[in-house]
A and B are shown apart, each in its own frame.
Chain A
Amino acid sequence: MDKQHEDLKVIREMMEKSTMFLSLSGMSGVISGIAAIIGASFAYFYLLKNPGNTGLNSTQEIGILLADALIVLAVSIGAAFYFSKRKAKKNNQKIVKKVALKTLYHLGLPLVAGGIFSLIFLMRGEIGMVASSTLIFYGLALINVSKFTYPEIHYLGITEIVLGLLAALFLYNGIFFWTIGFGLCHIFYGLIMFFKYERLR
């Protein structure tokens, strides 16, 4: 009977291993969240001192905001790569190239579309819409990739979309919803995933 148990285990593990990216670490969410909060705080206190202001006044300000966002993005991506690699190594697993690429593709496609879309608004100085569109497209990207990874990602995606819609509704407070979505939610879901999948009880 042991062999049959072993066999079923082999089968299930191989099916998972060949289709799902399970090296995603909750820690990368926490780091992304912290980076987003720092980035948003900088943007708020440096550029958007007046909460009623949804327009940026100069290309220099737009450039600074863009650089701010890109740094947060770079830190998030870096953290994701670093912690995923670390988690795989810790569990003695290898990151399967085909699965990793498929995951990146399904995540990346809506993200790139959203990025370009948001950039257009940013270039026009309409940062109110930037918060909303980045949140919504990010949520859609997460939902799209969730079938290849942990179910928590699906719920994070829905949360981001809801926050994005709220940001569109309350146009003058976009930065706050942005901070909640990319900051607090990442930390929250990151911790949930970390304690669920990595901290062995």
Chain B
Amino acid sequence: MKNIIANLNKAFESRIRLGIMSALAVNDALDFNALKELLEVTDGNLASHLKALESFGYVQSTKQFIGRKPNTSYSITQSGSDDFKHHLNALGELLS
């Protein structure tokens, strides 16, 4: 039991981070506004969680301009994908 709980990743403890990782796991990339629409959180809240996930190396961002407007798109990294999968497996194991 203790082993399985240890496999849960602390980085994903927040529900919003779980949501971000889930959305990015099944989409090539999502921009800031799409994530905001999906998660229904404020700009600041979303930005801080994204920054945290970036600092873990789980998410990467690409800044570009669409016309004159800046647009940042986010995608999951390989390590983000791997660790998220481990987390999902750990969750599944805890419930089986």
Contacts and interface: CB of A to CB of B under 8 A. Distances in A.
Interface of A: 1, 4-8, 10-12, 14-15, 17-19, 94, 96-98
B95 A18 contact: no
Given A96-B37, A96-B38, A14 B19 contact: yes
Given A17-B38, A96-B34, A98-B30, A10 B94 contact: no
B11 interface: no
A44 B27 CA distance: 47
A8 B8 CA distance: 12
B66 interface: no
Contacts of B23: 14-15, 17-18
Which residue among A6, A8, A18, A19 has the maximum number of chain B CB atoms within 10 Å of its CB? Answer: A18
Q: What class of interface size applies to chain B in its complex with A? A: 10 to 19
B92 interface: yes
Contact of B15 (A10, A15, A19, A94): A10
The SS class assigned to the B binding surface is: helix
A104 to B, nearest CB: 16
Contact of A5 (B15, B38, B95): B95
24 contacts: A1-B94, A4-B91, A5-B95, A7-B18, A7-B91, A10-B19, A10-B22, A11-B18, A11-B19, A11-B88, A14-B18, A14-B19, A14-B39, A15-B22, A15-B25, A17-B38, A18-B23, A18-B26, A18-B34, A19-B26, A19-B27, A96-B34, A97-B37, A98-B37
A94 to B, nearest CB: 7
B92 A8 contact: yes
Which residue among A5, A10, A11, A94 has the maximum number of chain B CB atoms within 10 Å of its CB? Answer: A11
